[in-house]
């Protein structure tokens, strides 16, 4: 469980930094902590980033726990599908876009790429550690460690 927590923390911090980077260089037109103004919260920007990080941490922890059992499916496919769905859903909610073909032009490709990359990191780490725990008995030596060969 500690690996899940560490992976989720690193993913949440990294994704938050990527969001700040994308906003700073105008790859996304919405502010990552714009929910503060939308919900009329009176909190400092640092606290808003911490709140965003906490939500991302919980999301990545849930993703880690659920998808570690999908170790037979390649991480590329699951991360691509889940990352793409999450990125589309997030920007559809943020922009309040209609379900039309023209709406795809407003989506940010760098945001989609970053989302898929972070999802791949989380899912591949989860599957690797689950696989290594599941088949740990195969890595045991047939003789004692004290035996000299």
State how far the Cα of 128 lies from the Cα of 11, in Å rounded to an integer. 16
**Choice between 51 and 136, residue whose per-residue pLDDT is larger:** 51
Q: Are the C-beta atoms of 118 and 64 separated by less than 8 Å? A: no
Tokens 């989380």 locate to 122
How is the chain split into domains, by residue range? Answer: 2-136
pLDDT of res. 129: 87
* Token pair listed for 7: 């992976």
Q: Full-prediction pTM beyond 0.85?
A: no
Dump pLDDT digits (tens) for 71-120: 788 889 999 999 999 998 888 888 877 767 777 777 889 999 999 999 99
State how far the Cα of 136 lies from the Cα of 113, in Å rounded to an integer. 34
Rg value, the chain, Cα: 19
Residue 106 DSSP class: G
């Amino acid at each position: 469980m500690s690996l899940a927590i560490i992976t989720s923390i690193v993913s949440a911090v990294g994704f938050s930094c990527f969001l700040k980077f994308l906003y700073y260089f105008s790859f996304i037109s919405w502010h990552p902590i714009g929910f503060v103004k939308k919900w009329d919260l009176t909190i400092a920007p640092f606290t808003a980033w911490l709140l965003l990080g906490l939500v991302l941490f919980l999301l990545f922890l849930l993703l880690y726990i659920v998808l570690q059992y999908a170790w037979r499916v390649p991480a590329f496919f699951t991360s691509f599908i889940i990352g793409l769905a999450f990125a589309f859903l997030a920007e559809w909610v943020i922009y309040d876009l209609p379900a039309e073909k023209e709406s795809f032009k407003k989506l940010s490709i760098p945001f989609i790429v970053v989302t898929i990359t972070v999802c791949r990191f989380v899912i591949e780490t989860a599957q690797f550690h689950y696989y290594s725990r599941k088949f740990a008995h195969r890595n045991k030596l047939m003789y004692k460690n004290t035996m000299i060969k």
